[in-house]
Amino acid sequence: MSRSFNVAVVGATGAVGIEMLKTLETRRFPVKSIRLLASERSVGKELLFRDEIVKVEKLTAESFAGIDIALFSAGASRSREFASAAVAAGAVVVDNSSAFRMLDDVPLVIPEVNPEDVKLHKGIIASPNCTTTIMLVALKPLHDLSPIRRIIVSTYQSASGAGAKAMEELKNQTADYLAGRPVVPEVLPHPYAFNLFSHNTTIGENGYCEEEMKMVNETRKIMHDKTIKVNPTCVRVPILRSHAEAITIEQERKVSVEEALEALAKAPGVKIVNDAASNTFPMPKDSNGQYDVLVGRVRDDISSENGLSLFVSGDQLLKGAALNTVQIAELL
């Protein structure tokens, strides 16, 4: 007999929370009941799930009675405040924030990469940062061919990574710019329309920002290899919701382009977009709303004997956040 689950979505009215609801429905997750939780300002809002209206409730420590799986998308501070209450109530927490990712007793999981780690949970499972997730879905099949020793990656990150307010700011700034009105940043620190800038998380003593160090540390944890060298540069670009990444890797042995494409074509969660004749490769407009990570521009790194370069794009709200979280719940 198949089992159904009582599910809570924390941060249900945010950009990722809304995508979690859609993904649970689209993928026909076995939901017995759904509880939508958010801050006090969202209480009473109505969201549609499986053709039924569900009212948003206030998130409290008592919100998780009877819940089997709690999907968190409300940010690190809320996860730290309420995840333990959910676990104490008997729920398994799948957390999309940065709160628990690097804790030794919390598995950090991408289902296409390290699904077996789900079994190691002690009540909380973390979903990685969006940039790490999108990158490693593309790199895992190449790593399986020959271990990756070094990754150089530049990200082109969309407004959705900074939340619904940043997406709205990009729309408003674009309209202001085109109308000749002053462009005034409020959500992000710099003008966003027709501009790009280094990711606005804090720069550390080593010169790398927090977002970049997430890619370094999360990659090593997920791949179970502390020796992988990762050199990231993270940039915000004026795109609404899909990230793109330019990646160059060095492997233990030379992997040919043909061998790489064959492995990528068979890999779960990957779609090849690699039409050199028409100069068509992964683009954010094509990955919007897609579950798969688009991979293309696969070519030899002419500066390295054992190097490959590729270009990828993935929907930040889906594979970068909501979809990966729901897929972890599916593994449970």
Residues 120 and 136 in one domain: no
Residue-wise DSSP of 253-315: S---HHHHHHHHHHSTTEEE--BTTTTB---HHHHTT-SSEEEEEEEE-TT-TTEEEEEEEEE
Residues 14 and 120 in one domain: yes
pTM, two decimal places: 0.96
Average pLDDT over residues 310-319: 97
Residue 1 has pLDDT above 70, yes or no: no
Residues 25 and 166 in one domain: no
Tens of pLDDT, residue by residue over 250-282, are 999 999 999 999 999 999 999 999 999 999 999
Average pLDDT over residues 278-289: 97
Residues 105 and 170 in one domain: no
Average pLDDT over residues 32-58: 96
Residues 155 and 204 in one domain: yes
Residues 163 and 289 in one domain: yes
Q: How far is CA 144 from CA 31, 96, 137, 255, 307, in A?
A: 35, 26, 12, 11, 15
Residues 210 and 223 in one domain: yes
- State the total domains in the chain: 2
Cβ(7)–Cβ(24) below 8 Å? yes
Count CB-CB contacts under 10 A for residue 285. 9
Give 188's pLDDT tier (boundaries 50, 70, 90).
very high
Residues 138 and 235 in one domain: yes
Residues 237 and 308 in one domain: yes
93 vs 109: CA distance, rounded Å: 13
Residue 105 has pLDDT above 80, yes or no: yes
Domain containing residue 155: CATH number: 3.30.360.10
User: What pLDDT, on a 0 to 100 scale, did the predictor assign at position 30?
Assistant: 97
Residues 208 and 269 in one domain: yes
Residues 257 and 301 in one domain: yes
Query: Could you tell me the residue range of the domain that residue 260 belongs to?
Result: 132-316
Average pLDDT, the chain: 97
Catalytically active residues are 130, 243
Domain containing residue 10: CATH number: 3.40.50.720
Task: Please count the CA atoms within 13 angstroms of the CA of 141 that sit on its side-chain side.
Answer: 20
Residues 69 and 139 in one domain: no
Residue 187 has pLDDT above 60, yes or no: yes
Give 2's pLDDT tier (boundaries 50, 70, 90).
confident
